[in-house]
Structure 1
């Protein structure tokens, strides 16, 4: 849990402070011209997303869950209702109005909707006391929450790889290359983390079966 928590803290420390100034000039995403709602909703999305990432680490921490079940339930409610729900809903608006092109727009919409649905299923499983299913769905929810971190890394790698192709593949358009790199990041990251999460869940399930 320590390396995971450090990654989350480092990412939040880098990503959140510019939005605490409420200065659109410091935004890492360019607001669409004439859309006055975009920036304040983007700030809300970032802050609620930060809550989700911080509380998600407690949700998947086995020792915390075992020793502090009440704390697990409290952080779980915070994760769902003060993190995923508002961040995901605002993400739908932010995703729809992105200036990074249609591929990134669809990826953001699909990612936000999937995050909301997966989390809702996990919450419902807990309410029905199906805790095994609850943990599996919340693990997927956590993977989607953390995909934003991986997407930034993938975006950098994709930009490095695609930059030499600006004059050929992208016909001299650096902007098109940037949008393509962003598209690779937002599509590939949640897919990879979802697959890895399911593989780990399957491996854990097989281990429990062998122990029985």
Structure 2
């Protein structure tokens, strides 16, 4: 904060309504999240392993951990959208606080589930290490953000929760990166799925996607945190 040379009280925070086009990303984010959940959840709510998007024959612990991870993750992503909605934060702070508590609780469960499922990789140790790091970082950033808000360090809280949310949405980003990398590793795989079956390059694409999906998100979060905000009009002169 800049130092002041006057004893006059700081000006009150502007109460001007923020127009929706100043936050154009919230609606697309909500739509993408909804589409992701609609396409994923039905396969797991019935607890039928045969509907799983990934093989479940990895021991008795894997499928329960996977279902827990996905169900808790669905709550986490839904709460994250509410947390990122500026209008809700400004006009309904109590709802914002409660959705934040839901986010923290579900993120902890999701992170623990990720740590368990990561130990049963389908594509080797590279995927195992990537998903283990993701689970640890999701837990760490979420808990650090929660501790910061409990200590009323709201600036630190905001930064840690931005990182946590970026990691949370890496599962959504993984859908994009896995498709893009499979196309890069196995050209023609989308038009001819038979090319993908048994191709050794697929494992490389899966491992690369496991790393890229959360690293790129985290890099974007760091850029967002440390970017220089645009000046909104000329600064008021100190009288």
TM-score (structure 1 length as normaliser) = 0.89
C-alpha distance in 2 between matches for 1:133 and 1:204: 17
Q: Trace 1:57-76 onto structure 2 (pairs within 5 A).
A: 57-76=81-100
Q: Report the Cα offset of residue 211 of structure 1.
A: 5.2
C-alpha distance in 2 between matches for 1:198 and 1:157: 24
Check the 8 A contact 1:32/1:97 in 2, yes or no. no
Check the 8 A contact 1:48/1:87 in 2, yes or no. yes
C-alpha distance in 1 between matches for 2:216 and 2:187: 26
Q: Trace 1:68-87 onto structure 2 (pairs within 5 A).
A: 68-81=92-105, 83-87=106-110
Cα offsets for 1:81-123 (capped at 9, x unmatched): 1x11111101101001122211010000000000000000100
Aligned to 1:16: 41
Taking only aligned residues, the RMSD between alpha carbons, in angstroms, comes to: 2.1
Q: Report the Cα offset of residue 163 of structure 1.
A: 1.1
Q: Report the Cα offset of residue 173 of structure 1.
A: 8.3
Aligned to 2:73: 49
C-alpha distance in 2 between matches for 1:145 and 1:84: 8
- 1:134 matched to 2:157? The reply is yes
Q: What 5-or-longer segments of structure 1 have no aligned partner?
A: 167-171
C-alpha distance in 1 between matches for 2:83 and 2:99: 7
Aligned to 2:140: 117
Q: What 5-or-longer segments of structure 2 have no aligned partner?
A: 1-25, 190-195
Aligned residues: 204
Check the 8 A contact 1:45/1:88 in 2, yes or no. yes
Q: Report the Cα offset of residue 176 of structure 1.
A: 2.9
C-alpha distance in 1 between matches for 2:84 and 2:141: 15
Distance 1:203 1:164, change over 3 A: closer
Per residue, is there more helix in 1 or in 2? Answer: 1
TM-score (structure 2 length as normaliser) = 0.79
Check the 8 A contact 1:41/1:94 in 2, yes or no. yes
Choose 1 or 2 for highest CA Rg: 2
C-alpha distance in 1 between matches for 2:198 and 2:187: 10
Question: For 2:53, what is the secondary structure of its paired residue?
Answer: coil
